[in-house]
Amino acid sequence: MTSPHRPLRADATRNRAALLAAAEAEFTERGLDASMADIARRAGVAKGTVFRHFASKEELIAAIVAGHFRALSEYARALDDASDPGGALVEFLAEAAGGQAHHDLSFLQTLTEGDSSVAAARDQLHADVERLVARARDAGAVRGDVTGTDVWVLICAPVHATGYVRDPAPDLWRRYLAIIVDGLRPAGAQPLPVPPPTWP
Amino acid sequence: MTSPHRPLRADATRNRAALLAAAEAEFTERGLDASMADIARRAGVAKGTVFRHFASKEELIAAIVAGHFRALSEYARALDDASDPGGALVEFLAEAAGGQAHHDLSFLQTLTEGDSSVAAARDQLHADVERLVARARDAGAVRGDVTGTDVWVLICAPVHATGYVRDPAPDLWRRYLAIIVDGLRPAGAQPLPVPPPTWP
DNA sequence: GGACAACCTGACCGGCCGGTCAACTTCGCT
DNA sequence: AGCGAAGTTGACCGGCCGGTCAGGTTGTCC
């Protein structure tokens, strides 16, 4: 978590939040090449302030990614006591995709493999997904040969698919989520040709 | 096509081919940030030569992308007289994914939307996919509510999915292709919640 | 209200990258 | 063989980007 080594000053907390929001917006608009200077400008602070809060661009990205992982993790856990495990899994996937449809930051994920706080948040989220999938599988809503990691790697697929059409409808990702979910169901499933990947 | 305005000199043809190969390799390894200087070095030529053959980095990328589109297009057309339309579609998707698994250049695609020769090759390939899907649908191998464009946008999904696991088996994409293909089949299909996108 | 630490600022730096160009080399043709 | 055109070279340029830091500012606590 964010180590409360010393409580931040009031303006520092404000600036940090503004920076994270600005960075998120800038990264979604300009991609990985969004510059620290632009992020600072958008947050209404000087360039130096960015580097006071985040020692490097990588660290800023890591903070964003870890934040998203943690938020999704919380959402997943809230679904733990759902009465319909199959529906819960789909609802989780929809939440994940819905967030990406608004701010697709999946391309930042690979850049932060080294960061330990990201790794922790990621592993936690993966465990949450694994649990959702296990319940859905036990309930017969998901085919038996599909693992949590399989679902994990497919999370971004619906939104990425929409990236290949011009001016996609804002909820087009639901169409591809539906297709993939149908592929995860037991009905009409053909045997899978390759063993599942191990985690990590 | 490549306009034969004047026949290229022998060394020029060699260099052009070397440059395309080097660029492809460099882009797969370093991503979009691969530098023109590195590409030149890898091809064994000077930097200026790159810009003689391709006026800008964008143009080089466009040449690569268009080349891949055309190669896939040819493959798709060779499948036109297959006796099993469902199998033909899957075979095409496997060829596309197999190529990407070796050299994933899908991230270059969005950068070349403006280029007219890329647009032509892309539209041609899309038409080919549409035809493969139509036949598979008529044969009952693909659900009725799925369009060619749906399949088009899902082409990259199997390979992209493998990008989220460490050291994926080289043919892991086959697993996710199988899942998606199962989602495209009529068996157990649930109605899709959103209308398909129009092309383009 | 004063004093100190935390924080912010913005000019500055080195490095890299896409792109240019005048001088030189090589191909291809007769 | 020799000549002109096509091709190649590599030093060079302007611009941008991540990152630094000395000095000014502001929150906070007594």
Please report whether residue A70 resides in a domain.
yes
Give a yes or no: residue A38 inside a domain: yes
Cα distances (Å, whole numbers) of residue B177 to A12, A144, B7, B117: 48, 17, 42, 29
Residue A92 lies in a domain: yes
B72 lies in the same domain as B99? yes
Q: Between chains, do A190 and B184 touch, taking CB under 8 Å as contact?
A: no
Shared domain for B172 and B120, answered yes or no, is yes
Residue B97 pLDDT greater than 90, yes or no: yes
pLDDT of the residue at A7: 87
- Residues B114 and B160 occupy one common structural domain: yes
Q: Are A41 and A81 within one domain?
A: no
Does strand C come within 7 Å of the CB of A48? yes
Mean pLDDT of B19-25: 98
Instruction: Assign B4 a pLDDT band (cuts: 50, 70, 90).
Output: low
Residue A192 domain flag: no
Whether residue A106 is found in the same domain as residue A23: no
> What does the pLDDT look like over A16-48, one tens digit per residue?
999 999 999 999 999 999 999 999 999 999 999
Domain that holds residue B34: 1-55
Q: Which residue carries 């620290």 as its tokens? A: A36
CATH code (residue B32): 1.10.10
Residues A126 and A68 in one domain: yes
Confidence (pLDDT) at A4: 53
Residues A148 and A88 in one domain: yes
Give the residue on B whose Cα is nearest the Cα of A171: B194
B9 and B80 share one domain: no
Q: Using H for helix, E for strand and C for coil, what is the string for B143-186?
A: CCCCCHHHHHHHCCHHHHHHCCCCCCCCCCHHHHHHHHHHHHCC
Judge whether A200 lies within some domain.
Answer: no
Round and report the angstrom distance from CA (B102) to C1' (D9). 33
Claim to verify: residue B84 and residue B143 sit in the same structural domain:
yes
| pLDDT tens string B176-200 | 999 999 999 999 999 999 999 999 8
User: Is the Cβ pair A146, B179 closer than 8 Å?
Assistant: yes
Query: In this model, does residue A3 exceed pLDDT 80?
Result: no
Q: What is the pLDDT of residue A177?
A: 98
Tokens of B138: 């008529």
Q: Indicate which CATH number applies to the domain containing A97.
A: 1.10.357.10
Instruction: Share the mean pLDDT of chain A.
Output: 96
